[in-house]
Chain A
C-alpha cells in the first residue's frame, strides 16, 4: 500500500504542514488600530427612578436571574427593610414605569419582590453589632420608624423605639386588613428586624411633645415617626357616637374587637374606605360606600377597586351625606347629589334618606400630636410628608437616619445612604437591544376567587412559586445593569472580552482587553441592556 505520508503525520500528532501553531497571537497588539474604546456605564432603570426607595431593581433581579436568590435578597434589603410587606401592599410605582410596557407588559416586579421578601422571612438579615455610644430614640414603630431604626442600627447605633400601641407595625398592623397583609408575615418581618438589629422596642409607651426634653438627656437624637393616627370627620356632621373614623374601626377589627351594628355606610374613595368596607363585609355586615366623585376619580389603588367590585361591594358615586340625625337606634342620613363648584364638591339636590347602624368617615387622616415649639427635630413618614405609602414611609425613615448620621458627623454632608441617581442617566426603551427577547405575558399571582374570599380574611394572593418566578424573572431586561449575560463576549470578533460573573461591582463584570480590542463597537451595539458605551480612544 502507498505510504500515506501526510495522513500519517497528522495521526502521529505532527502538526507541521498544518495551519496550527503553539505560538500565541497575543503579541499582535491589534488594539493599537482602534479609534474608539468600549467601557461599561451602568444606567438607571426607569423602574428604579420611579421607586420611592430607589431600589436597584435591574441589579437585584439580575442576581435572582443568575440563580442567586440570597444575593438578590441581600441587595434588595440594602434598600428596602420590609420587602415581604411592600411586596404585598406597595402600589408598584416601578411597574408603572417599566420599559417592558412598550414591549408587551410590565414586569411583575412587586410579585418578584414579594417572592424574595417571603424568602427573607426564613433568612433574617445578618445581625449587626452595636459599636457606638450615642443612643437614638425613635417615636412610632410604623414603617418609617422601623426603617430609620434599621439604617441607623446598620451603622452601629443602639435604637430605642417608642410605640404607643401594644405591638409594632403602625398602619400595617392596625389599618391594612389581613386579607392583604397577613399578620403572621408582618410579625415575622418585624421580629427579624428587631432581632437582627437589636432594636429595643418599648410598646404601650406614648411619647408626647412634652417628653422631648426629658428624652434629649438620654438620647443623642430623636426621630419623630408617629404617622397620622386620627381620621378626619366632615365639618358639617354632628359629633355622635355612631359616627366613627375609618382608622378607629380598622384598628378594632385588627385587634379582633367586637363590632356592633349590622348596616354600615362608609364615606370616602381611598384605600381606607375600601379596606373598611371590605373588612366589615368579611365580618358579615351589610356595607355600602358613598363617594362624592366618579369611580375613575377614586384615589384608591385601581387593583383594589377592581377586587372590591368583584366581591360585589356597592359604591354610590357622586353622592354626599349632607346631614346626619340620631334615631333611637341608628342614624338617619340625608343623601344629596354632589355638585362641583370651582373644583370643590358641595351638596346638590336632595336624593334620599337612608338609615344605618354606623357611619364611617374615611376621608383623610391627621395627627393627634400638638407641638408648641418647632425646634429642628427630625421627622419621618406620614407625619413628615402627609399620608402617602409604605414605600415612601420607608424611604423617609432612611432619609431621617441619614440626617442623624450627618448631624453626628458620621456621614459627610453631601454623602447619602440614598443613592444619587442624578449622576447616571436613565436608560430608555429605545436604547435596549431586544432581539433576544420574545413577547411573553406577565406571570401573575394566583388569586382566591371573589366568592370564596369575600367572607373571610384569608390572603387573596399567593406568592409566586419558584417555577413562576423563574418564568417572570426572564422577562426583566435588567435595563442599564450588566448581568454578565455574556452576549458581548460571544459577539466580540477579537476575543477581547472576558467576563467575571462573580464580580459584584456591575461595572467591572466585563473586562476589556484593550491591547486587542479593535474598537469595532459590536459589543456596544449588541448589549441588550445598553451598558456598553464607546468613547474616543486617545
Chain B
C-alpha cells in the first residue's frame, strides 16, 4: 500500500527518512539547512520516529556525530546544503575511507562568495572525490524513493551515499506523491546489521595509521568496491521496482526524447523536468532531440552512458556546476566516459545556470535551435 499525499519536497524527504527508521539523526539547524531535519525533529518529538536526535553546533559536528553512531552500528541520517556540506568535507573523506554506510541528503545550493542561496550543484560536485556515491534526483518522489534505495545499497556496499535534490526547486515546492507503507519499506529494507562496529566486548581498531604500501592496497580495494557499486545499486533499484512499482537506473532515458535522434541533451537533477517540456516541444516541431538524465554521478556510470550514446553525433550537456578553468563539471564527466566509444560524439558544454539562474523550456529550446553556433572545445556560457 502506498498513500497519496501533497507534500513539500523537504517533508517528502523527511517521510522517506522516517520510513527507513534511522536510529540516530544529527544535524546543524541553521542556514543553509533545509526543513528536512526540522520535520524530522518534530517527528522525533511527537514520538512518531524512535530516533536519537543530536542537535550539534556545526555541520562538521553533525557529520562527526553520525560517524560515531554508524561506527557503533546504528543506521543514521544527516542533511545539509552548500557551505554546510563544504564544512563537512574533511569528515566526508574519512566516512568513505572508514567504509561506513550512511545516507546524507544535500539540497544543492550555491557556494559564496558572493552570497547566494539558490539552486546550484557546485556544492556536491566539488565533493565528487570524497569516495561517496552521489545520486541526483529530479522530483521529490524520486528523492523519497532514492533514500530507501540508498540505505539498502549503502549498507550492502558499506559505503556512504549522498542523495541530491535541487535547493528550493524541490525542497521548497509542493508535489503530489505516493508515500509507501511502513510494512512495504520494512520488507524491502531490513534492519541494519553492522558487520563490524565499536564494541568494547569485541574491540577493533578503526582507521588507524597505515604504512604507504598498506594504504595503497586499501585504496585499491576501495576503488574496486566502488566499481561494483553500480551493479549493487542497479540490483537495489530492480528490487525496488518490484516492490514499489517505480523504476530508477543510473542513467535514464526520458520518454519525451526521441531515442532515434542523433542529438541528445544530458542533464541531472530537477532541470530534467524543464528539459522534458522543451524536448517534447522540439520533437513536435521536428527538431528531433533525445533526453538523458544522469542519476548516478559517483561512481560515474560510463558503461550505461556509452550504451545509450553509441549512435549519437552530438551531445549537449546542460551544467549547473562549474569547474573554473575547465568548464561544466558534468560535461567533463560525460566527455571522459564517452572517450571510450569508437565513434565519439561531439560534446557541447553548456553552462545553463548557476546560483539559481532560472532555466525555462525556452532557454533549453534556444540552445538546441542554435546548436550549430556552440563551441565544441570551450564552455558555452549564455549570452
- Using a CB–CB distance below 8 Å, which chain A residues touch chain B? 1-2, 4-7, 10-11, 13, 15, 17-25, 28
Contact = CB atoms under 8 A, between A and B. Distances in A.
A25 B205 contact: yes
Contacts of A18: 99, 158, 196, 218, 221
B195 A13 contact: yes
Interface string B215-243: 00110011011001001100100000000
A435 to B, nearest CB: 11
B207 interface: yes
Given A7-B157, A15-B196, A2 B228 contact: yes
A20 B232 CA distance: 23
B153 to A, nearest CB: 10
Contacts of A13: 195-196
B73 interface: no
Nearest to A28: B209
Nearest to A22: B204
B208 interface: yes
A21 B232 contact: no
A281 to B, nearest CB: 53
Interface string B189-202: 00000011000000
Given A7-B225, A7-B232, A20 B203 contact: no
Nearest to A3: B228
Contacts of A5: 224, 228
Contact of B218 (A1, A2, A19, A25): A19
A5 B221 CA distance: 10
Nearest to B204: A20
18 contacts: A2-B228, A4-B231, A5-B224, A6-B225, A10-B158, A15-B196, A17-B217, A17-B221, A17-B222, A18-B196, A19-B97, A19-B98, A19-B207, A19-B208, A20-B204, A20-B206, A22-B205, A25-B205
B195 A11 contact: yes
Given A19-B208, A20-B205, A25-B209, 20 more contacts: A1-B235, A2-B228, A2-B231, A4-B228, A5-B224, A5-B228, A7-B228, A11-B156, A13-B196, A15-B196, A17-B221, A18-B158, A19-B98, A20-B99, A20-B196, A20-B207, A21-B208, A23-B205, A23-B208, A28-B209
Interface of B: 97-99, 156-158, 195-196, 203-210, 217-218, 221-222, 224-225, 228, 231-232, 235
A306 B207 CA distance: 66
A20 B195 CA distance: 11
A496 B210 CA distance: 22
A21 B195 contact: no
A6 B228 contact: yes
B232 A4 contact: yes
A6 B224 contact: yes
B97 A21 contact: no
Contacts of B205: 20-25
Nearest to A11: B195
A126 B17 CA distance: 58
* Majority DSSP secondary structure for residues of A touching B: loop
A175 B326 CA distance: 93
A13 B196 CA distance: 8
A13 to B, nearest CB: 6
A6 B221 CA distance: 8
A315 B239 CA distance: 88
Contact of A7 (B156, B207, B208, B222): B156
Nearest to A2: B231
Most buried by A among B97, B225, B232: B225
Contacts of A24: 203, 205
A319 B98 CA distance: 84
A382 to B, nearest CB: 56
A17 B97 CA distance: 11
B208 A25 contact: yes
A20 B217 CA distance: 13
Contacts of B235: 1
Nearest to B222: A17
A10 B157 CA distance: 8
Contacts of B207: 19-20
A96 to B, nearest CB: 36
Given A10-B195, A25-B205, A19 B228 contact: no
Nearest to B203: A24
Pairs A-B, 6 closest by C-beta atoms:
A17-B221, A6-B225, A21-B205, A19-B207, A25-B208, A4-B228
A1 B232 CA distance: 10
Contacts of B203: 22, 24
Contacts of A4: 228, 231-232
Contacts of B222: 17
A17 B216 CA distance: 10
B327 to A, nearest CB: 34
Nearest to B230: A2
Contacts of A11: 156, 195
A7 B236 CA distance: 14
A13 B158 CA distance: 12
Q: Which of A4, A5, A22 has the most CB of B within 10 A?
A: A4
Contacts of A2: 228, 231
Contacts of A21: 204-205, 208
B293 to A, nearest CB: 24
Contacts of A6: 221, 224-225, 228
Contacts of B156: 7, 11
Contacts of B225: 6-7, 17
